[in-house]
Chains A and B, each alone.
Chain A
Amino acid sequence: MAFHSLGRERGDSMVNEHWQMLTESFPQLLEYGIKVTIPLSILSFALGLAVAVTVALIQYANVRFLRRLCRFYIWITRGTPLLVQLFIVFYGLPDIGIKLSNYLSAFLVLGFNEGAYMAETMRGALESVPRGQMEAGYCAGMNYVQIMGHVVLPQAFRTAFPALGNSMIAMVKDTSMAASITMAEMFRQAQIISGQRGDVLLLYCEAAVIYLLFCTALTWLQRLGEKLLAKRGGVRA
């Protein structure tokens, strides 16, 4: 029992001490969660989505050389660990003169990494739209861009929505890896506080709970989004 209270002058009970540590560190962690984790997740997700849609559309359009290029990107990105990608971009690229800040490195790597997964999601969703609709579109006098924009993509997005939500949740958790490239983000903060306080379990659990909070909120948003989409779909049909 004495183990945990060693080095503390105050004679409070242990529960009080732990409670105090939790209440003191929670706002500190949350601050980094709000300042770093959330913006980084949103920005990277936006980038990933843009990449994914582009890559999926190129593959859908079946332009030969570009299609190969896209497959190559997906192959490399999905086949290598995120941590290794972060290290290559942040610590490695300066050797050939490309020096990106830690934030920019994390943003690009997270975005392009998740982008590869989401590209596959989008490709599947695009392919699930019956090809006949394309022909129907042409018959109705629409051009390729109009058909994609008004007919195929909206349906594909609806199909892809749950899987994209999944990717967003994965993204939030993956931001913790940016700690390894000197980003002062939430998990790194938990490590630092845990070093100062000499407590490991509680601090890491606390960080885990905050990630859980963020992801729970996302799950709610996803459900809300699905409901809205279902409603819109209902009106259209």
Chain B
Amino acid sequence: MKKYLPIIVAAALIVAGVIVFLLIPKTPSSQGDMLARIREKGKLTIATEGDWPPWTYHGDDNALTGFDVEIGGLIAKGLGVEPDYQEAAWDSLLAGLESGRFDIVCNGVDYTEDRAKKYACSDPYVYTEIVLVVAKDNEDIHSIEGLKGKTTSNSPNSTYAQRALDAGATVEYADTLAQTLRLVEQGRVQASINSKGSVDEYLENNPNANLKVVLTIPGDPVCFPMVKSADTDTLVAEVNRILSQLRADGTLAGLSQKYFGADMTEAK
């Protein structure tokens, strides 16, 4: 027993340390609320994937661009600060928001009740459609319900993965859109649920892709999540004001046309 004592003590110390750390209240780094702090540092830290066209990707000149990247820039402009884009894997985006690394996630994040509990979500700015994609030679999947007992590829903790899980499918987790769709093409999984805009773009860029869309359905409204804390209300209100302005002057619809080839800014 004596031999194991140091290990038990070390483990107890680690657990105690973590609990103490969690109990320390999050203190604001400086005076004022979230919005004031963003204005003070002069930049809005925007988290985005950077590899999910047409939402967020690197264009021909390798510069970061995309529907959400442009809107993120306009939000920063509206707040009177510079956009500071940080690229990270889908899975790290919301996690980084929570730990205060990012101010806002601009990455076509679907609004769900669960997410609204954890994050401060902006008003919806687009309403996407989602598609069910299978390999060209697949003849037996035609509906979301048809995924029961099948395997799909999707990003972890995405609403797409959740839909597949809810339908009774097994989900293999991939990190990027390209990986996700390749798994379907290669026949390693039978299907994927994804954003219509992204799949259309992929098919346009890869005309020989071994993929076909078997179903198009309305998706969730899309929002910009921000940190949920007592002092983000003014930031959320300001972001919503900027969004409604962009909506009113036709900028949102224009960007939607530019990136998705359709106006998706109205609820269907």
- Which residue of the partner chain, among A7, A198, A200, A201, contacts B21 with CB atoms under 8 Å? A201
Is A179 in the interface zone, CB < 8 Å from B? Answer: yes
Q: Which residue of A lies closest to B117 (CB)?
A: A7
At the interface with chain A, which of B126-134, B181-189, B257-265?
B181-189
**Do A182 and B172 form a contact, CB below 8 Å, given A6-B118, A198-B98, A209-B14?**
yes
Instruction: Enumerate chain A residues within 8 angstroms of B156, measured Cβ to Cβ.
Output: 188, 191-192, 195
Instruction: Enumerate chain A residues within 8 angstroms of B207, measured Cβ to Cβ.
Output: none
B-facing residues in A1-16 (Cβ within 8 Å): 1-4, 6-7, 14-15
**Do A184 and B173 form a contact, CB below 8 Å, given A99-B188, A192-B157, A195-B95?**
yes
Is A146 in the interface zone, CB < 8 Å from B? Answer: no
Instruction: Enumerate chain B residues within 8 angstroms of A3, measured Cβ to Cβ.
Output: 25-26, 228-230
- Report whether A191 and B172 are in contact in the complex, using a CB–CB cutoff of 8 Å: no
What's the Cα separation between A91 and B186 when bound, in Å? 9
- Report whether A195 and B21 are in contact in the complex, using a CB–CB cutoff of 8 Å: no
B185 CB to closest chain A CB, in angstroms? 8
Is B18 in the interface zone, CB < 8 Å from A? Answer: yes
What's the Cα separation between A14 and B20 when bound, in Å? 11
- Report whether B18 and A205 are in contact in the complex, using a CB–CB cutoff of 8 Å: yes
What's the Cα separation between A99 and B20 when bound, in Å? 48
B-facing residues in A174-200 (Cβ within 8 Å): 179-180, 182, 184, 188, 191-192, 194-196, 198, 200
Is A39 in the interface zone, CB < 8 Å from B? Answer: no
**Do A191 and B175 form a contact, CB below 8 Å, given A3-B26, A200-B99, A216-B7?**
no
Q: Which bracket fits the contact residues of B? A: 20 to 34
- Report whether B18 and A15 are in contact in the complex, using a CB–CB cutoff of 8 Å: no
Is A150 in the interface zone, CB < 8 Å from B? Answer: no
- Report whether B118 and A4 are in contact in the complex, using a CB–CB cutoff of 8 Å: no
Is B9 in the interface zone, CB < 8 Å from A? Answer: no
Is B22 in the interface zone, CB < 8 Å from A? Answer: yes
A219 CB to closest chain B CB, in angstroms? 11
- Report whether B157 and A202 are in contact in the complex, using a CB–CB cutoff of 8 Å: no
Q: Which residue of B lies closest to A93 (CB)?
A: B186
A-B pairs with beta carbons under 8 A, tally: 73
Is B248 in the interface zone, CB < 8 Å from A? Answer: no
Is B105 in the interface zone, CB < 8 Å from A? Answer: no
A-facing residues in B220-239 (Cβ within 8 Å): 228-230
**Do A191 and B18 form a contact, CB below 8 Å, given A1-B25, A3-B229, A102-B172?**
no
Instruction: Enumerate chain A residues within 8 angstroms of B175, measured Cβ to Cβ.
Output: 180
- Report whether A18 and B22 are in contact in the complex, using a CB–CB cutoff of 8 Å: yes
Is B214 in the interface zone, CB < 8 Å from A? Answer: no
- Report whether A179 and B98 are in contact in the complex, using a CB–CB cutoff of 8 Å: no
What's the Cα separation between A205 and B17 when bound, in Å? 11
- Which residue of the partner chain, among A2, A7, A94, A191, contacts B118 with CB atoms under 8 Å? A7
Instruction: Enumerate chain B residues within 8 angstroms of A179, measured Cβ to Cβ.
Output: 173
A-facing residues in B138-187 (Cβ within 8 Å): 153, 156-157, 172-175, 179, 182-183, 186-187
A21 CB to closest chain B CB, in angstroms? 11
**Do A188 and B173 form a contact, CB below 8 Å, given A1-B25, A99-B186, A216-B7?**
yes
- Report whether A202 and B18 are in contact in the complex, using a CB–CB cutoff of 8 Å: yes
What's the Cα separation between A81 and B67 when bound, in Å? 33
| Chain A window 193-232, contacts with chain B (Cβ cutoff 8 Å), 1 for yes, 0 for no | 0111010111001000100000010000000000000000
- Report whether B19 and A18 are in contact in the complex, using a CB–CB cutoff of 8 Å: yes
- Report whether B118 and A198 are in contact in the complex, using a CB–CB cutoff of 8 Å: yes
Is B91 in the interface zone, CB < 8 Å from A? Answer: yes
- Report whether A91 and B179 are in contact in the complex, using a CB–CB cutoff of 8 Å: yes
Instruction: Enumerate chain B residues within 8 angstroms of A184, measured Cβ to Cβ.
Output: 172-173
B252 CB to closest chain A CB, in angstroms? 28
- Report whether A201 and B18 are in contact in the complex, using a CB–CB cutoff of 8 Å: yes
Residues of B within 8 A of A (CB): 7, 11, 14, 18-19, 21-23, 25-26, 91, 94-95, 98-99, 117-118, 153, 156-157, 172-175, 179, 182-183, 186-188, 228-230
Write 20 A-B pairs (CB below 8 A) sorted by A numbering. Answer: A1-B25, A3-B25, A6-B228, A14-B22, A15-B23, A94-B182, A99-B188, A102-B188, A191-B91, A191-B157, A195-B91, A195-B156, A196-B157, A198-B98, A198-B118, A200-B99, A201-B18, A205-B18, A209-B11, A209-B14
Sort A-B residue pairs by CB-CB distance and give the 6 closest, nearest first: A195-B157, A7-B117, A182-B172, A198-B118, A94-B186, A200-B95
Instruction: For the A-B complex with A182-B153, A192-B156, A192-B157 known, give 11 more contacts whose Cβ atoms are closer than 8 Å.
Output: A3-B228, A14-B23, A188-B156, A191-B91, A195-B95, A198-B98, A200-B99, A201-B22, A202-B18, A202-B22, A205-B18
